[in-house]
Structure 1
Amino acid sequence: MDTASPAKWVPHPEGPEIAFFDTETTVPSRKGESYSLLEFGAILVCPKRLVEVFSYSTLIKPADLNAISVTSVRCNGISRESVGSAPTFADVADTVYAILHGRVWAGHNIVRFDCPRIKEAYAEIGRPAPEPKGLIDTLPLLTQRFGRRAGNMKMASLATYFGLGRQSHRSLDDVRMNLEVVKYCATVLFLEASLPDVLSAATPIDELPITRTDTDITTSSNETSVLVAHIEEMKLDSSNAGTAPSYTTVPIIEGSSGFSGYLEPEEVMTQHITVSTLPFGQFAKMAVYHKDVPLHLCCANLNVCFGVSTKFLDNAGRPKLNIVVEIPENLCKVLDKCDEVAHKMSQEAGSISQWRPLVKKDGYVNLPTVRLHIPTVANGDHAIYSTEMYQKESSGNIQKLVFTKVDASELDTLFIPGNMLDAFFDLDVYDYQQNAGIRLVAKRLVLHSK
């Protein structure tokens, strides 16, 4: 049953089915703004045959239609007009509860995104939230089991890898795609396990373009029984959901997590931005100042556009990690001024290197973006992040993430496009191998609702 209003019939809570679900939300655009649900979609799947036995979807009208920004519409296509006559979450809360409560929950990145959104939605209407009896988060799970062969392991990348078409970013379509991706991954893993010396992730295969129609997405009964075995392995107790991370969380005492000396964009007067040359070993290095003090910046509620990139390596062979975020107009003006002054100083110093602009204004998202670098440093026989990283819950509580190793794939599961973060960063002016510019070095990153 697919519906845009409360279902005429819903299954009882605490059933044996696996509930694959997905939410679409607004994208917060300013400090302190929360997410609002715009759509909920779910399918109930028989765990023995992986057959869909029930489906439900509904648009949801948020309390404040103004929360649906241009960025939000660009993300999922849900406009104010789309939800103008839709039910509120209070209207569909009973149905959502009946679908989710007491079942195994499954979805892509649900532990870090969708589960918190469900809890927040029920808290807003003063109702107890549904609880799972187990969780299957396919993002960390498939990253661990399937490896990085499908790139960043986001749903869109996995769907492209298997030729399942484009991700629509609509709830019901996405959960059905999620189930198909799990089937395909499990099948590949089963075949590789059957002939490990012949078939493996490292076996070179000539890739051909893949196209499929909806009628191609089927599985035989024998294939299904194999997939069921993999699904049973994938079931995770709700107290230990997803792949065990290589980090722990440490609660932060209120008032102890401040970063002094970092200015917000509105605190910076661009006419007081200067660049000076400082001795740096046998060479000289430029540094950006504000009122004769080294400039350190911070900005809240930055939207992650692209996750962790590992395209380049440093001199030690370690990946140069970075993420791309959207920036507001006031920060854009500050960084443009820094770029202008530093570029002029570089030319006056006789540099012939190509200057690379700090802010990208004509990129994929058509909004100003910058790249935040996450440096690593050697620590004995391994490397660690020199950037401090934190998680900020919807309640406002902040916990520090303490990592034991550098793991780019794990870090990529934290920095999901569409998620928000607060950034504290330094400006590093570089001139190296005929390239010059300003690099933003993250000193502290606070991820929201994780």
Structure 2
Amino acid sequence: MRPTDREILRLAVPAFFALIAEPLYLLSDSAIVGHLGTEELAGLGIAGVVLQTIVGLCVFLAYGTTASVARHLGAGDLRRALTQGVDGVWLAVLLGAVATVLGVAFSGPLVRAFGVSETVAGYAEDYLRVAMFGVTPLLVMLATTGVLRGLQDTRTPLYVAVVGNLVNVGLNLVLVFGLGPVPALGIVGAALGSVLAQVGSAAVMVAVVVRAARREGASLAPDRAGIRAAARASVGLVIRTLTLRASLLVLTYAVALGVVDEASTSVATHQVAMTLWTFLAFALDAIAIAAQALTGRALGAGDLALTRRLTQRMIAWGLWSGVVTGLLVAAVSPWIGALFTPDTDVRALLVPVLLVIALGQPLAGVVFVLDGVLIGAGDGDYLARAGVVTLVAFAPVVLLVAAAGGGLVWIWVVFVTVFMGARGVVLVHRARHDAWMVAGASTVR
């Protein structure tokens, strides 16, 4: 195996397991709260959407920090790399504090915007008011994860994610159902258990970064200029993320718009398909994370030839990873539906949708890798424009197909061909040229 391939694997494998560990916080909460009752579980679902949206929009804290830290590492300035990382952590603290105050203050209106029953809304508010205090730790974990990825360390975030999830499960069981002198707190106990686990995980990650910063003599004090610079550099990634999430919302709306008969079957099938597609995205995104770290380091070192070779190699990794995941999805498509539902109609409709997903996996692999390469290069402004172009290309087509009664399978065909295809076109176009390959510790020429 080539040294480059070994390095990609060294970064990508722990990153993959850390990625799939992250959603387990909410999944474990769901499994435990589900035993309280259907309305409690529904309330958790509503609160979870709000939390996932807030945290998801702040993923730039990990991506942007990875790129900036890796660049300074490649330039041989580890002290500056860690200073940049500390600035990113302080930005996470500020954003988390604002989000927490607003989230607690507006938890009622946020929940009631979903139009659920009073009982469900009550449970959702109870959970959300407590869970919002975990937002700052979650954002700090994003930023510190970005620091460590930029330092080419994807193992520490994995270890913390695994231990954090185990602690979360134990705390939730005790706090939800009670044990000895600890009273049963119900759904509030699930939120409190998660917050405590998140605070502990964030503390460990911060301790790792602080130890490294002190070792290199990097300042731990908040630097206004550095925090502002980190915020400005993240604008493009925020817009990119907003356009991607908007595209997925349009997809879900198109599914609801396009079904008249057997609506519940189509919506349920779409939910299962999206769950599986998201899991596959984690697998492919692990290579993209390796691409972020390696691209940033190579550009920081000023080695444009190495950057180009790494890009070509990681594209190959993305393509063949997509081929493998596509073949696996196609192979299990007749049977995997049984894991999610006993409904034979849903399972039957799921098969052609999964075959469409399988055919699109090689393209998805290339798209995810190139996205990671350009994030690692600090090319956020272009990614923002590319996201807008993709949304503008995808939304009218999928809505027209839905309005014409195309059905779920054709809606997914449009998603794979137009949405992923448009992303592929704009990313390949950028990668073929040299404008994004800015050498040195800064992305500014």
TM-score normalised by structure 2 residue count? 0.32
Relative to its length, the structure with more strand (as a share) is 1
Relative to its length, the structure with more helix (as a share) is 2
- Which structure is richer in relative contact order (CA contacts within 8 A, separation 6 or more)? 2
**Greater C-alpha Rg:** 1
